[in-house]
Chains A and B, each alone.
Chain A
Amino acid sequence: MPVSTLFPGQLRHQVYNMDACFYNTLGIYSFEAQCEMLAEIGFDATYLSLWTPQAFQDLDKLRHTRERYGLDVAAIYVVPDLAQGINHPKNLMLLDMIERLEGCTTVEIAIQAALPGIRPSDPAGDDRAVEWLMAALKVAERRGIDLLLYSHLSFWVERHEDAVRLCKRIGHPNLGIVFCGYHWYARDGADLARALASVGPWLKQVNLSGSRRDPNGFAGVATIEPLDEGELDNFQLLGELRRMGYAGRIGFEGWDWGGDIYGKPDRSLRAYRGMEARLNANPDWAVLRA
């Protein structure tokens, strides 16, 4: 488990920064620039979203990330579209990628669509999703890789309940869930303790974001901001994770960021370490009245 325990009750999570914050309308920061910035700021790990041909080329760099930058690779992120068929070349390419992946043992999977024309969360897509995931798990098990379902606003796996449903049905030790603070807040945002308890048995990674409901935000629903901004109370979220004994990595999400890109993950990390220290000293502060 990637965490250092200071002494009982004192946690210092390993932290990573998701590469989405390095995309903006002027372009995309190179993998090397991303890693150098994250190492300088003090992150423990980087993250690679396979969105572009360049990102697929960057896969070969993951095996050198520890040696070159002192960073682990928290995960790579893929978006299968199973509505095109599980044998569509793009979906088969993802299986091949898992077969060849080096330098990273976690693949986060956001299933954008399962069947043509069905709505997010519709269980009608379960059979196809299970079929593709079983094929992927066959490779992942042999290679010691974890596949984590990533709940994503407006995708077929939109709610964490969808991910839980698939995990229960498949019951494979290499299949887990990444809890996505932003997507949970933007879609549901209520009863955090229940939401986390339901994913608990499969929870292997967590990412956080500052967020506020705003029609000018992501997908017209909510903003994605540095960790200390917005209305989503990340201190409470961290308190709940602590109560359930979560000790894995914590990542920060970014989207539509500019201004000073470096300054935003830097600010998020400072805010995070501040909240973590306060939580270690005052765990009772993260208990709200209903």
Chain B
Amino acid sequence: MTYKLYAMDTYFHNSFGVYGFEAQCEMLAELGYDATYLSLWSLQAWADVRKLPTVPARHGLSVAGAYVVLDCRFGADAPGPRRILDLLQTVEGCTTIELGIQGGGRTSAADRAGTQDVLSFLDEALAICEARGIDILLYPHMTFWMQRHEDAVAICEHVAHPRLGIVFCGFHWYGAGNRDIDGTLELLSPYLRQANLAGSRKSPQGWAGIATIEPLDEGELDNFVVLGALQRLGYEGLIGFQGWEVGGDIYAKLERSITAFRSMEDRIERHPEWSRLCR
């Protein structure tokens, strides 16, 4: 199985600034990635949405997804949610929207506060998605209202819409203390449409004082085992690499991650049993 790969644009944000969308695409194409990714965090990123339709022709890449964050504190009619709905109405060149859901003081989907606002938003959003052929993939994110993969599954089960799925986020799964990868992926399987991976190690110096985000071959999180579990599940979708606070030589780290991934992929093809660990 040769997976199609993308790098999340979080690789290109650091304390000096953000690489231009064009530079990102040119680097990824040169390194052999199949797709790019756009996080809608800034005015510039929102402006870059209009560039998505020309990415295949200009750079030979597809667009794996655009990432947006819904803040469910203010209800579905607040400006933030309306902007996301406008995006769904107008976006071209991208058929996957990955959705993180924040909730301010409402810290967890498990406590149900905010659920109705989220469901109302998704009801409206998925009607647009159905008409326009767009998927919304719920993005579990530590410290967000929807922080566990189980929370995303509960929402998918409740909404039960064919345009609603989940992206598996290796870093957020590991950082939250999860270790049963086969169990998690089995739970996600009806809704799993995309996956992103990162090297990671629990560390107070890491993201949010929880864990590091590193190139794929680094850290304590065993990505060979995660990849083996994805293969056993029969997952055939795109796989992305997450970065955060990456500097030094960003290009080299992206190269290192894709090289490590292809090496692991080759080994799993030759020795699938290696990735089955004893617990």
Contacts and interface: CB of A to CB of B under 8 A. Distances in A.
Contacts of A258: 199-201, 219-223
Interface string B265-279: 001000101101111
A262 B277 contact: no
A1 B278 CA distance: 35
A37 interface: yes
Closest 8 CB pairs of A and B: A27-B277, A260-B217, A258-B222, A258-B220, A33-B274, A259-B217, A27-B279, A259-B199
A29 interface: yes
A26 to B, nearest CB: 5
Interface string B205-248: 10000000011111111111110000000000000000000000
Contact of A27 (B214, B225, B271): B225
B90 interface: no
Nearest to A257: B220
Contact of A33 (B201, B217, B271): B271
B271 A26 contact: no
B274 A256 contact: no
8 contacts: A24-B221, A24-B222, A29-B277, A30-B277, A33-B271, A260-B223, A261-B222, A263-B260
A259 B222 contact: yes
A264 B218 CA distance: 9
Interface of B: 179, 181, 199-201, 203-205, 214-226, 260, 263-264, 267, 271, 273-274, 276-279
A259 B216 contact: yes
- The SS class assigned to the B binding surface is mixed
Nearest to B220: A258
Contacts, number: 81
Given A25-B179, A27-B277, A30-B278, A216 B205 contact: yes
Given A24-B221, A25-B221, 15 more contacts: A25-B179, A25-B220, A25-B222, A26-B277, A27-B225, A27-B279, A29-B274, A33-B274, A54-B278, A258-B200, A259-B214, A259-B216, A259-B218, A260-B224, A264-B217
Contacts of A32: 273
B220 A216 contact: no
Interface of A: 24-30, 32-33, 36-37, 54, 216, 256-264
Contacts of B199: 258-259
Contacts of A262: 224, 263-264, 267
Contacts of B264: 260, 262
Contacts of A36: 271, 274
B278 A28 contact: yes
A260 B216 contact: yes
A30 B276 contact: yes
A216 B214 CA distance: 16
Nearest to A256: B220
A25 B219 CA distance: 11
A22 to B, nearest CB: 9
A71 to B, nearest CB: 16
B138 to A, nearest CB: 24
A257 B217 CA distance: 10
